[in-house]
Amino acid sequence: MKKIMRKVHIYTGLLLLPMALVFAITGIALLKGDDQNTGAETTTIVIQQPFQESTALDTILQTLQQNNIPLPRSTTPKAFKRGGIVIGTLDYSVTLQPKGPNSVLTVTNRNIMGDLIMLHKGKGDWSFNLLNYAFAIALFVFYISGLIISFNSKEKGKMLTSILAGTLLCVSVAYLNIF
């Protein structure tokens, strides 16, 4: 059992190493206050007409053409979480939102870090989100296989002390931050 768990631990870890690096790098960026739009090039255009969902896509396409702004690869409209619609990809998107009696068109061209942060947040399509879930499940597998490997070790006491200390530290710091 120990040999099988060691192989599961090693090969799953190597398979998902790129995901671990992406999550580590973007997690640090998020902790230091960056978000998906940090470093992004944005252009905002106020359109002097009220937002109408039925003509929103036409309004976007006309405004982009009139201002010599390139079209995104995808022009399939999707509902935007704060009202309005969005077209494009994670990297290059155009949103049209209501703002008072006007509409606001925002063109966002993200850098690679912004794209990776969007993937970290699960904003990609189903394929990358599937990898996100696989990575989360793999973390459980790593710890379970690591525990099985540890319990078959000669230094069980030190390992259990580490687990207990880590649990105590995590719970204490979480408690102090919550309350």
Same domain, 62 and 97: yes
pLDDT of the residue at 149? 75
What end-to-end distance do the CA atoms of the chain give, in Å? 42
> Which range marks the domain in which residue 151 is found?
2-34+119-178
Q: Which amino acid is at 86?
A: V
pLDDT per residue, tens digit, the chain (179 aa), is: 778 877 877 888 898 899 999 999 999 999 999 999 999 999 999 999 999 888 999 999 999 999 999 999 999 999 988 889 999 999 999 999 999 999 999 999 999 999 999 999 999 889 999 999 999 998 888 888 778 777 777 888 888 898 899 999 999 999 999 99
Same domain, 96 and 150: no
Domain boundary among 109, 143, 167: 109
CA–CA gap between residue 105 and residue 67 (Å, rounded)? 12
Domain boundary among 89, 109, 129: 109
Residue 114 lies in a domain: no
User: Taking the mean position of all CA atoms in its chain, how far away is CA 163?
Assistant: 29
Domain boundary among 109, 138, 161: 109
Is the separation of the CB atoms in 120 and 23 below 8 Å?
A: yes
Per the structure, the count of domains in the chain is: 2
pTM for the structure as a whole: 0.82
User: Taking the mean position of all CA atoms in its chain, how far away is CA 96?
Assistant: 22
Residue 128 lies in a domain: yes
